[in-house]
A and B are shown apart, each in its own frame.
Chain A
Amino acid sequence: MNPYRYARILAWTGPLLLIGTIIFWGVLGQNIPPYSPALGAEEFAEQIREHAAQIRIGMIVQMPISVMWFTWSVAMWQVMRAIEIENGSNQVLSLIQLFGGAFTTIVFILPCSVWLAVAYRPEVMDPKTLQIMYDFGWMFFDMAYSLTTMQLIAWGVCMLQDRRAKPLTPAWAAWFTMFVVVSFLLLTMMPLVYDGPFSRSGLLNYFYEFGAFFIMWIVVAAYTLKAITRLEQEHWAANAAQ
């Protein structure tokens, strides 16, 4: 049996989720950029009431599709296992990556449910209640970064241990990915400020961090797909030789 059966479909769920996230979480969910924490409660509530319908649609779709972060992580896990088995079958890194992927899925789903609740009946809710719920969603979404950092550092370290003459993932992509997830440390400043570049909608903690994250997502997705193609080719070549 082909050990990489299903792998390609799983690997495609990464780029699919990326597109879905841009449309449903980003555009419809009013998250490009999110509402500034500097807005007064009344002004914020007005914005939510005005866009409640589209935010609801965005979150209703984003919640179920977020599971694709996990299915994509399983594709990454398959590539990592291939490298680990060749290197003596230590499976620590792939295990960390897989758990990190599963936990990161919750980081997608839980805040979306909170923002969905904010957009559920904003016309009868107290503006301050809406604001604290929205803040809670963002605190969880931004500050649970260590789960994703753990996942992708494990992935990067594993990719660097590939002994092929031409590795499945080039060293630059592994280092770039690890760098991006470590730079999430900057989010530490987010709960401390209400305005400026370090706020959740600011130049550094939104545009820079999320820009880097989305580029990293494309890089990891592209090399996971390429790696699966190569692993399948290696598998069939080895079987044909027998």
Chain B
Amino acid sequence: MQHSNMAETDGAAPAKRAPAIWLFIALDCTSFGVFFLVFMVQRLGQPVLFDQSSQHLDAGLGFLNACILITSSWLVAWANIAGREGRIDHARRLLLAGMAVAACFGVVKIYEYYTKFVAGITVATNEFYTFYFALTGIHFIHYVGGMVILGILAQGPSRYMPEAMAKASYARWLEGSSLFWHMVDLLWIFIFALLYLIGAR
């Protein structure tokens, strides 16, 4: 594996970066795991209400959003490989392409929220929708955060640091951010299955 070559050029701290982002991802996934568990426990108490509410969600749009995020993740993974190999311009183009695809996720999600509000469905409608808005809302914050980080990385390595240090730092951030972006994608697949599919039929 050659992925850590660039990171190792920058002293002691960089070697710790990869485990740190993994730790953050593990904590975040555990946290979502707790939310999913609480959702399932609450669902056991009122399965009919949860099933009926779930049927009002558009599984097609949920699936479309899963496809969008997987495609975006794939482009960001390629950007990561390009960055690791020092092909910075190529990495930047792939990041921009990944962001352009992912922007569709935001459009679809906002459209979905809009249709719910127009239909008079809010966070206070019932417990299923409290979970729907909470889980998709927290996920959306992750999505926005990820887009901002990808946007910053799409600008290329820092122009204010010495070149070798900037490139090493860029490769580290690219790797950490693509891991985070895969998590955003993975979490949506779980949310899609739990909210849109269970009880939809």
For the residues of A in contact with B, the DSSP-based class is: helix
Ordered by A's residue number, 29 sampled pairs between the chains whose C-beta atoms are within 8 Å are: A163-B11, A163-B13, A171-B19, A171-B20, A171-B23, A172-B23, A175-B23, A176-B23, A179-B27, A179-B28, A179-B31, A183-B31, A185-B138, A185-B141, A188-B137, A189-B130, A189-B133, A189-B134, A192-B123, A193-B124, A196-B127, A197-B38, A197-B42, A198-B130, A198-B134, A203-B38, A204-B34, A204-B35, A208-B34
B12 close to chain A: CB less than 8 A:
yes
For the residues of B in contact with A, the DSSP-based class is: helix
User: How far, in angstroms, from A163 to B10 measured CA to CA in the complex?
Assistant: 12
Contact with B along A194-234 (1 / 0, CB 8 A): 10111000011000100000000000000000000000000
Of all A-B residue pairs in the complex, the 4 with the closest CB atoms, nearest first, are A179-B27, A192-B123, A175-B23, A171-B20
B24 touches A179 (CB 8 A): yes
A160 close to chain B: CB less than 8 A:
yes
User: How far, in angstroms, from A185 to B42 measured CA to CA in the complex?
Assistant: 21
Chain A interface size band reads: 20 to 34
**Chain B min CB distance to A97 (Å):** 20
Contact with A along B163-197 (1 / 0, CB 8 A): 00000000000000000000000000000000000
User: How far, in angstroms, from A198 to B34 measured CA to CA in the complex?
Assistant: 13
Would A176 and B13 be within 8 Å (CB), given that A185-B138, A198-B130 are in contact?
A: no
User: How far, in angstroms, from A188 to B31 measured CA to CA in the complex?
Assistant: 16
Q: Which of A175, A188, A194 contacts B27 (CB 8 A)?
A: A175
Would A196 and B134 be within 8 Å (CB), given that A165-B12, A171-B16, A179-B28 are in contact?
A: no
